[in-house]
Chain A
């Protein structure tokens, strides 16, 4: 979803300000990149939660899916949707994974999917955008935003980095605070393949 939004942003920006397109290597023109993309499994969804005294919990989600639709010159109508399966969380610690899946955090028995739907895309640079949308997790929905930066484009696939900070307390997942930060920092690499 984030990838899609980023692509939209990059495309719309390039169509509006073509002189800035050269600022990013292989930045596609809007006409070039327009289309519907599927987020591929080569993407990575990594996260980090700081803990008091240094260090923290790092992990990733292995199962996710999503798509985005880029319309030439129409950034405001970029549509991004993304879903991930919290059951696929992995931190390298079996006990931590089990705790994250439990009712204390994701409660995967009752909420098997976390979703994001974009509401707005704002261009922030020749190859970057700010995506705002609605995140739904554990029965709670909230407005969240991510920063997206275009990293690759080969005419058929497009890549982005996506970063964002989400407060666990908005989704009834703030167990362990203040030992563990209320903030989850996401560091994602999104790859989209044109359908």
Chain B
């Protein structure tokens, strides 16, 4: 996240691991969200998928939180050669936004479970109960947070698509090491 002109020329292994772990979790959760909200789905399967969505959503929140804290302290690699200051600022803005949404989307999901009058417990991976947030419960609040969760998730999907497209553009058109660095390779191509 931070720009250090004299930083390392590649990302650390923990940074790379957390990046791809969050990516897999987010994309998996969005796909699960599409499937479980289909109107024709079997109700028993739907209930089960919702609980898996909640469990993996909580895991995504935890990993995103770890990733955010780690990013505050981890040394950031120096910008790839040929990246303009404007491009660098745009990349940083995108990364900040994705960091923020990676936290906001699961938090909005947690709010849905917390404000819902159904009061269905969040029993993460059938191992332990994650308590609801201390908020008032109402059908109106549940509807609002459900919409917010969905809108933010669609926004994440759009930004991830843009983020991935730019990475592929750097790799195949600019032929620089932007993508390779996040795959664990050194920053020279």
Asked if B47 CB lies within 8 Å of chain A CBs, one says yes
Find chain B residues with CB under 8 A from A179 CB: 51, 120-121, 123, 126
Counting CB contacts under 8 A, is B117 at the interface?
yes
**Given known contacts A52-B129, A104-B47, A176-B47, is B121 in contact with A95 (CB within 8 Å)?**
no
Against B, the Cβ 8 Å flags (1 = close, 0 = not) of A79-111 are: 000000000000001011001001110000000
A31 lies within 8 A of chain B by Cβ = no
Q: Is the CB of A99 within 8 A of B123?
A: no
The answer, yes or no, to whether B118 is at the interface (CB within 8 Å) is yes
CB pair B123–A178 under 8 Å, yes or no, is: yes
Partner of A175, one of B47, B118, B121: B47
Taken together as a complex, chains A and B put the C-alpha atoms of A104 and B44 apart, in Å, by: 5
Q: Within 8 Å CB of B129, what residues of A? A: 52-53
A52 and B132 alpha carbons, distance in the complex (Å)? 13
Residues of B within 8 A of A53 (CB): 121, 123, 129, 131
> Given that A175-B47, A176-B47, A178-B126 are known contacts, is A103 also in contact with B42, CB under 8 Å in the complex?
yes
| Count of inter-chain pairs, beta carbons less than 8 A | 36
Distance from A48 Cβ to chain B, minimum over Cβ atoms (Å): 14
B43 at the interface (CB under 8 A from A): yes
- Tell me whether A139 is interfacial, beta carbon within 8 Å: no
Known contacts A52-B129, A104-B42, A178-B126: does B47 contact A99 (CB below 8 Å)? yes
Interface residues of A in 96-138 (CB under 8 A from B): 96, 99, 102-104
A175 to B50, CA, bound (A): 12
Q: In the assembly, what is the distance between CA of A123 and CA of B120, in Å?
A: 41
In this complex, the member of B43, B117, B119, B131 whose beta carbon has the largest number of chain A beta carbons within 10 angstroms is B43
Contacts of A103 in B (CB 8 A): 42-44
Look across to chain A and name the residue whose beta carbon is closest to the beta carbon of B129: A53
How far is A194 from B126 in the complex, measured between Cα atoms in Å?
50
Q: From residue 165 to 187 of chain A, which have CB atoms closer than 8 A to chain B?
A: 175-176, 178-179
Complex CA–CA separation, A36 to B149 (angstroms):
59
Which chain A positions have C-beta within 8 A of B131?
A: 53
Asked if B121 contacts A96 (CB within 8 A), the reply is: no
Min C-beta distance of A35 to chain B, whole Å = 44
Chain A residues closer than 8 Å to B120, beta-carbon distance: 51, 179
Which residues of B sit under 8 angstroms from A102, Cβ to Cβ? 43
B117 touching A93, Cβ below 8 Å? yes
Q: Which 7 pairs of residues, A with B, have the shortest CB-CB distance?
A: A104-B44, A104-B43, A53-B129, A102-B43, A175-B44, A53-B121, A179-B123
14 extra interchain contacts, Cβ-Cβ under 8 A, other than A104-B42, A179-B51? A51-B120, A52-B121, A53-B123, A53-B131, A55-B119, A93-B118, A99-B47, A103-B42, A175-B44, A175-B48, A178-B123, A178-B126, A179-B120, A179-B123
